[in-house]
Amino acid sequence: MNELAFIPALPLLGFLVLSLGGRSLSRNAVACVGAGSVCIAAGLTITLCVQYLQGGNAARVDEWVAWRWFASGPLAVPVGFRVDALSLVFMFIITFVGALIHLYSTAFMRDDRGYARFFACMNLFVCAMLILVMAGNLVLLYLGWEGVGLCSYLLIGFWYETPANCAAANKAFLITRIGDTALLIGMFLLFRELGTFDIAGILQASPGHFAAASPIITAIALLFLAGGMGKSAQLPLQTWLPDAMAGPSPVSALIHAATMVTAGVYLIARMHVLFQLSPAAMTVTALIGALTLLVAGCSAMVQTDIKRILAYSTISQLGYMFLALGVGAWSAAIFHFFTHAFFKALLFLAAGAVIEALHHEHNVFRMGGLRHRLPIVYWTFLAGAASLAALPLVTAGFFSKDQILGYALSAEDGNAVLWLSGIAGALITAFYSTRLILVVFWGEAKTPVTRVPGRWITVPLIILAFFSITAGFLEWPRDLLDVQLFSGLLRGVLPATTTRYQGEGGAQLTAVIATLAGIFTGFQLYYRRPALLQRWRRGRLTAAGRQFLLDGWKFDVVYDRFIVRPFVYLTRVNRSDLFDSLYGALVRAMQEGNRQLSRTQNGSLRWYAVGVLVGMLYIIALLL
Amino acid sequence: MRSNKKKYMPPVNSHTVLVVAAILFALGLCGVLTRKNVLFILISIEIMLNAAGLAFVAAGAKWRQPDGQAMFLFILAMAAAEVSVGLALVMQIYHQHKTMDVGDLNKLKDE
């Protein structure tokens, strides 16, 4: 038995215990099992990380095959795990941030009826995500991929008594399913070409098998990209994520930070060889990332629900990751995932604490003045928001975002358009982060605080805040300090980015200026001169623009009108099943014929005799 | 008279015999179709069988083959079996339904 097995097995065990015996366990026991399993898994993962770092071998790979899953002809699929540095980064985030979220949940969900159900689903979620990132072949990866989709459905619809929550869960499941289908087709195409599902084998055989930029590799890469777009909520499949806020706050934190939405980033980074072979797919990835970060960022500026603001900012930050993947800055994308996980989990957990303290108030404009009454939440939230805004040099978000922006311009596939959209996104991000802080925590109080969060809620916040500030110091801009620990760790797995030129100074300064300008604008509009905002709100054009952004660029409306409604119309027309009625007519004709013929069987002997006679006469007439 | 001589019997025209057989068969058929009493229907079937037998014998005589008469023996045997089974059935029907009228014996039909 390999120690690798314990990492996904422990949350699975927790899930089994809680789902089978959760009813008969006390709340403390449920909390122990639910949070404990993930905490132990986190401990094991950290031990594994330490081994990696001490070994100093960046290309180290741990493999372990549990058993043979199924075999058919030349296809043999084992339940095999393969852990390298890339998997390890994801495992660390999933278990570590996941454990903090679980600890937070033990207090946050204390009064909920479905306490055991909640932890069962959360444990299964963590387990599925671990399987996804540890899988040694695509089939096992797909198992985790679907498991994540299932758990997100269960958790988004956790409070299922409200129909809106069920609708949100359905939406998340159905829209990600579009991406899943694309991924599945891509996997089949890949198997037809290479005859294997083994990830290492695929990565090794692809450069020799596929001609660069051939149609088939482009198709496969685009299908994988579509899979990633579904799970990672990229344009045009992003509409499920804002609605996914229907779930409890820890669920949002888990979905946005550690699991689910990062699956797409992992998939593309894992299959980077396929993308490198297809420049077209790379360009599409970068463009989708750039578009998504702008579209979602603009929507985040005007939202009024605190969790929706954060949801749109997640989509936007995922857009940065896709942008980085698209220009070939693989380790930069993973680094941004790494820092983003900390500060986004922190923001969601802190938002959950705020919402809970204000008696389930979601509207930011009815909050305010919480700076003094919830000091710990305020300071930690400030750390998270600063990191999200990429405040230069003191936050983790700065280091990762700066790297992405630098590569967007200097990488071989990068160009000025991508870079400019990234800079605009940075400005927007800084603006709405400032707005969030000012509206929620400054100003005068509008809703009384009914509950002050306890220690189990604040301690995870403080730990996450610490990492939101410091996680970035692993990787510095090259011309400031020569520290590249993170990309050094990933060097053995992900290729280094080829750049067109050295020197990032000017671009870096622009990014910093954009961030500061965003913060300044937010400060001006929401603190110094709120009158200007009031005037805009009254103006017809600006109000219409605000409504447009508030509705998420009307994507939902367009989808509803052009996809959902025609489909519903078709199903309504076809309610009695067109083809079924064809066969139904056949059956009715047969029954009618049978009824007519059975009338000849009337029991009269004479009638039968006449029948025989007529028959004989007929035969004789034929013979003659 | 020419008693010492072999009496000359003009051969019966087989055509005539076949006509007789056809008439007999038609009579039997009419009986089967029109009679009400099961017993008479059985008798009518007997007549039809005999008409068929007569036709076989006539045909055998015409082509001077023994097959026609052999076939008549088969028909005879078959008729005996048929009558025995038929009469037994008739008796049972009478016991159970107290009637011999085929018009009333119409229970065996699709409801």
Q: Do residues A414 and A407 touch, judged by C-beta distance below 8 A?
A: yes
Q: How far apart are CA A225 and CA A284, in angstroms?
A: 9
- Give the nearest partner residue to A602 out of B41, B102, B109, using CB atoms: B109
Instruction: Judge whether B58 lies within some domain.
Output: yes
Mean of per-residue pLDDT scores for chain A: 85
Residues 14-43 of B with CB under 8 A from A: 29, 32-33, 41
Tens digit of pLDDT for each residue in A276-294?
A: 888 888 888 888 988 898 8
- The distance between the two most distant Cα atoms of chain A, rounded to a whole number of Å, is 115
Start-to-end CA span in chain A (Å) = 90
| Predicted local distance difference test score (pLDDT) of residue A277 | 87
Q: How far apart are CA A202 and CA A191, in angstroms?
A: 9
Q: Do residues A351 and A457 touch, judged by C-beta distance below 8 A?
A: no
What confidence category does residue A588 fall into, taking pLDDT thresholds of 50, 70 and 90?
A: very high
- Its pTM stands at 0.77
At residue A615, does pLDDT exceed 60?
Answer: yes
Q: How far apart are CA A491 and CA A495, in angstroms?
A: 6
Q: Do residues A384 and A435 touch, judged by C-beta distance below 8 A?
A: no
Residue B33: CB partners within 8 Å, gap ≥ 6?
A606, A609, A610, A613
**DSSP 8-state secondary structure symbol assigned to residue A76:** E
Mean pLDDT on A204-211: 83
Most confident of A264-273, A443-452, B10-19: A264-273
Q: Is B100 left (phi over 0), alpha (psi -120 to 50) or beta?
A: alpha
Q: How far apart are CA A469 and CA A389, in angstroms?
A: 12
**DSSP 8-state secondary structure symbol assigned to residue B12:** P
Work out the burial of residue A208: count CB atoms within 10 Å of its CB; fewer than 13 is exposed, 13-18 middle, 19 or more buried: exposed
| Predicted local distance difference test score (pLDDT) of residue B5 | 52
| Predicted local distance difference test score (pLDDT) of residue B1 | 46
- Dihedral over alpha carbons B46, B48, B52, B55 (to 10 degrees): 120
Instruction: Judge whether B28 lies within some domain.
Output: no
Instruction: Judge whether B19 lies within some domain.
Output: no
Q: Do residues A326 and A415 touch, judged by C-beta distance below 8 A?
A: no
Q: Which two tokens stand for residue A472?
A: 């970035």
Tens digit of pLDDT for each residue in A168-199?
A: 888 888 888 888 999 999 999 888 888 888 88
Q: How far apart are CA A439 and CA A102, in angstroms?
A: 29
Instruction: Judge whether B52 lies within some domain.
Output: yes
| % of chain A residues with pLDDT over 70 | 98
Residue A120: CB partners within 8 Å, gap ≥ 6?
A14, A15, A18, A19, A22, A34
Select the residue from B32, B44, B111 to test the A interface by mutation, using most A Cβ atoms within 10 A: B32
Instruction: Tell me the C-alpha to C-alpha distance, in Å, between residue A35 and each of A6, A20, A98, A131, A187.
Output: 15, 17, 9, 19, 35
Q: Which two tokens stand for residue B69?
A: 């008469």
Most confident of A66-80, A219-233, A520-534: A219-233
Mean pLDDT on A406-433: 85
Mean pLDDT on B18-43: 91
Q: How far apart are CA A333 and CA A459, in angstroms?
A: 29
3-state SS, one letter per residue, for A564-623? HHHHHHHHHHCCCCHHHHHHHHHHHHHHHHHHHHHCCCCCCHHHHHHHHHHHHHHHHHHH
Instruction: Judge whether B63 lies within some domain.
Output: yes
Q: Do residues A246 and A165 touch, judged by C-beta distance below 8 A?
A: yes
Instruction: Judge whether B78 lies within some domain.
Output: yes
Q: How many CB atoms lie within 10 A of CB B29?
A: 17
Residues 42-101 of B with CB under 8 A from A: none
Q: Do residues A264 and A181 touch, judged by C-beta distance below 8 A?
A: no
At residue A503, does pLDDT exceed 70?
Answer: no
Q: Which residues of A touch B110 (CB under 8 A)?
A: 598-599, 601-602
Select the residue from A600, A604, A605, A617 to test the B interface by mutation, using most B Cβ atoms within 10 A: A605
Q: Do residues B45 and A613 touch, judged by C-beta distance below 8 A?
A: no
Q: Which helix (H) or strand (E) holds A82?
A: strand A75-83
Total tally of structural domains belonging to chain B = 1
Asked if the Cβ–Cβ distance from A605 to B41 is below 8 Å, we say yes
Residue B5: CB partners within 8 Å, gap ≥ 6?
none
* Chain A / chain B CB contacts < 8 angstroms: 27
Q: How far apart are CA A206 and CA A568, in angstroms?
A: 42
Work out the burial of residue A404: count CB atoms within 10 Å of its CB; fewer than 13 is exposed, 13-18 middle, 19 or more buried: buried
| % of chain A residues with pLDDT over 90 | 6
- A608 to chain B, closest Cα gap in Å: 10
Instruction: Judge whether B109 lies within some domain.
Output: no
Q: Minimal Cα distance from B107: which residue of A?
A: A603
The domain that contains B81 carries what CATH number? 1.10.287.3510
CA-nearest of A197, A84, A80, A182 to A138 is A197
At residue A530, does pLDDT exceed 80?
Answer: no
At residue A590, does pLDDT exceed 90?
Answer: yes
At residue A548, does pLDDT exceed 90?
Answer: no
Q: Which two tokens stand for residue A66?
A: 């549990």
Instruction: Tell me the C-alpha to C-alpha distance, in Å, between residue A271 and each of A204, A364, A495, B101.
Output: 11, 41, 12, 91
CA-nearest of A1, A28, A30 to A15 is A30
Q: How far apart are CA A28 and CA A110, in angstroms?
A: 9
Work out the burial of residue A532: count CB atoms within 10 Å of its CB; fewer than 13 is exposed, 13-18 middle, 19 or more buried: exposed
Asked if the Cβ–Cβ distance from B33 to A604 is below 8 Å, we say no
Tens digit of pLDDT for each residue in A407-419?
A: 888 877 778 888 8
At residue A1, does pLDDT exceed 60?
Answer: no
Q: How many CB atoms lie within 10 A of CB A459?
A: 15
| Predicted local distance difference test score (pLDDT) of residue A377 | 85
- A581 to chain B, closest Cα gap in Å: 29
- A602 to chain B, closest Cα gap in Å: 5
> What's the gap between Cα A602 and its chain centre?
72
At residue A598, does pLDDT exceed 90?
Answer: no
Asked if the Cβ–Cβ distance from B102 to A605 is below 8 Å, we say yes
Phi/psi of residue A72, nearest 5 degrees: -150, 110
Q: How far apart are CA A155 and CA A152, in angstroms?
A: 5
| Predicted local distance difference test score (pLDDT) of residue B10 | 56
Q: Do residues A476 and A406 touch, judged by C-beta distance below 8 A?
A: no
- DSSP bridge pairs for A612: none
Residue A15: CB partners within 8 Å, gap ≥ 6?
A120, A121, A123, A124, A127
At residue B81, does pLDDT exceed 70?
Answer: yes
Q: How far apart are CA A470 and CA A398, in angstroms?
A: 11
At residue A596, does pLDDT exceed 70?
Answer: yes
- DSSP bridge pairs for A70: A77
Instruction: Judge whether B93 lies within some domain.
Output: yes
Domain housing B49 = 38-98
> What's the gap between Cα A98 and its chain centre?
15
- DSSP bridge pairs for A63: A82
Q: Which residues of B touch A604 (CB under 8 A)?
A: 102-103, 106, 109
Tell me the DSSP string of A153-179: HHHHTSSTTSHHHHHHHHHHHHHHHHH
The SS3 assignment for A510 reads: helix
What confidence category does residue A19 fall into, taking pLDDT thresholds of 50, 70 and 90?
A: confident
| Predicted local distance difference test score (pLDDT) of residue A558 | 84
- B59 to chain A, closest Cα gap in Å: 19
